[in-house]
Amino acid sequence: MDSLAGRTAFITGGARGIGLAIARSLAGRGVSVAVADLDESALHAADAELSAVTTARSYLLDVRDRQRYAEIADAVEAELGPVSIVVNNAGVIDSVAPSRMDHTLWDYVMGVNAGGVYNGLQAFVPRMIERGLGGHIVNTASAAGLFVDGQSLLYKSGFLYHASKYAVVGLSESLRVELAHHGIGVSVLCPGPVATDMVENTQRFRPAEAPQRSAKINTILEAAQKLVRDHGVSPAVVGELVVEAMIENRPYILTAPDNAVPIRARMEALLDAVPQTPAQPE
């Protein structure tokens, strides 16, 4: 996209952390912004802040609620105009030990992290295609959607979380190819440690009927929360990276230089598994 000014953006998980930082960066470039979140008090604060800079609206939304999502999409476009920037950023970080795996938690984590992304796409992409005015989509995955590192607290977040984020990466990569001829770019955000309260916020909205985490999982998540709070990249930095990626239509947005080592190791393992000659039928 040559210019962002005058466009309208819709951002989930937009009242706090990375989502709010992206909204701030877009607002500063003359974009009208609509933010959606489950945290009502944070939404009010975000709305007041963003409205002082640009035209802004806020909406209470559980991204798993397809009907509510469709209603909000209609409301946003009626109030702010056609949406041509979509940031599917809402997410949770949760998991369970394999010995305690449970459909309730699977549905919750996949429903928010993967299903929520799809619901955002379903709500806006057909409209964007029909209008033919181009645009850009950013889907938030994680570095945990690119590799698993059993030695790192931050990158052994549990098989549920990894599965949901790998799904977002694959969805984004394939959709980028299919939307290119419509002039719609797609980027996948794969942040490393960012100074947010994602672990604590996840706990607030966790289903009451979900199985209790094991002591080991709790220890990992608590340590990860402390590490990102104390040493994570500022959300403001990520917000600027995302907006620059939109303008330049980059496929991937990463934030942690040390991710290069495990990513390279994974790519090398995949290449090593490629047979040198085609398999011969018996």
Residues designated as active site = 161
CA proximity to 38, closest of 89, 97, 105 = 89
* Spatial CB neighbours of 127, under 8 Å, sequence gap ≥ 6: 73, 77, 82, 83
Q: Running DSSP on this structure, what letter comes out for residue 175?
A: H
Q: Is the dihedral of CA 172, 205, 93, 85 positive or negative?
A: positive
Q: How far is residue 71 CA from its own chain's centroid? A: 21
Enclosing H/E stretch for 19: helix 17-27
Enclosing H/E stretch for 176: helix 159-179
For residues 232 and 81, give the distance between their C-alpha atoms in angstroms, rounded to a whole number: 35
